[in-house]
Structure 1
Amino acid sequence: MSDQSTATSARFDILSIMKQFPQTAETLLVDTYLRDTPAASSRVFRVYKGTPPHYHGGSDEYLYVLSGRGTFWMEDPATEAEFEPGQLLFFERGTVHALPNILEEPVVFLSVDTPRRDPTDIVFVNSADGSPETFIASKPG
C-alpha cells in the first residue's frame, strides 16, 4: 500500500486495519495513522487497558467508536458514562479525559485530531500513571 498519510486524497479499509491490531499490547493503546498533516491527523487505535486521566495540549479530538464498549469521562469524573459503537466523543485541547473501564473488547476508535496531534502530546494528571512511551505504540498502516 502506498503512503496515504499525506496524499491529497485516499481510501482506507478500516475493517482491515482493525483486524491487524495485536491481541495484547504492552502499551495502553496501539494506533495506525491514516492521515498526518499539519492541519489534522487521523488514526485508528485499539485500547488495551483503562486509560488514566490525561489531556492533550495541542489539539481538539474527535473519537468515533468503531467497536467495543466501556466508560469514558471528560472534564470531570462525574460525567462518566458508557460508550458503544456509533457514538462520537469530542473534547477540546486541554480537556482532561479518561477511559476507566473496558466492558467489551476490542475497543477501537477512529480519531481525528485538529490540528495534528503530536504522538508525544500526552500529559497524565498523575505523572506516575505513564509517559508517551507507555501510552501508545504505532503500528505501520
Structure 2
Amino acid sequence: MGIVATAKVHSLETPWQGEVSHGKHHYMTDKPASFGGQDGGPATYDFLIAGLISCTMITLRMYAKHKEIELGEFEVEAEFHANREGEEWIERRLHFKTAHEPTLKDKILAICQKTPVTKTLLRSVEIKTSLIE
C-alpha cells in the first residue's frame, strides 16, 4: 500500500493559527483560548480524535452494507484524556437511534477495535521527520 493520506499546514500571522489543506479541502487550526489561542479552528488533538471517530463511522457503515444490516442513524463521539502521571487514553462512545440485539452490539464493539485508525493508534506509528530548505 502507498500513501494513505496527505496534509499540509501553512502558518498564519496570528499566533498558533494555521491553514490546513488536504487537496481541495481547507480549514483553520488553532489553540483554544484557554491555551492562548483564538479558538479559530480545531486544535491538534481534536483532529486526532476526529480521524478516529470518522473512521469508526465509515467502517461500521461499510460493514452494515456488506452484511446487509440496518444500523440506522448513529453518532460516534470521543474524548482524549491525559493525567498528571503521563497516562493518555481515548474514550469513544456510540449512540444509536434504534435498539439492536445483544449479538449485534457485541459485533459492533468488536468492529470498532478493528477500524484502520484504531489499529494505527493502538500499535503506534513511526514518524520520520526531515528539514527541507
Q: TM-score range by the shorter chain?
A: under 0.3
State the structure with bigger RCO (CA 8 A, min sep 6), 1 or 2: 1
**Structure having the larger proportion of residues in helix:** 2
**TM-score, length basis structure 2:** 0.25
**Structure having the larger proportion of residues in strand:** 1
**TM-score, length basis structure 1:** 0.24
Which entry has the higher C-alpha Rg, 1 or 2? 2
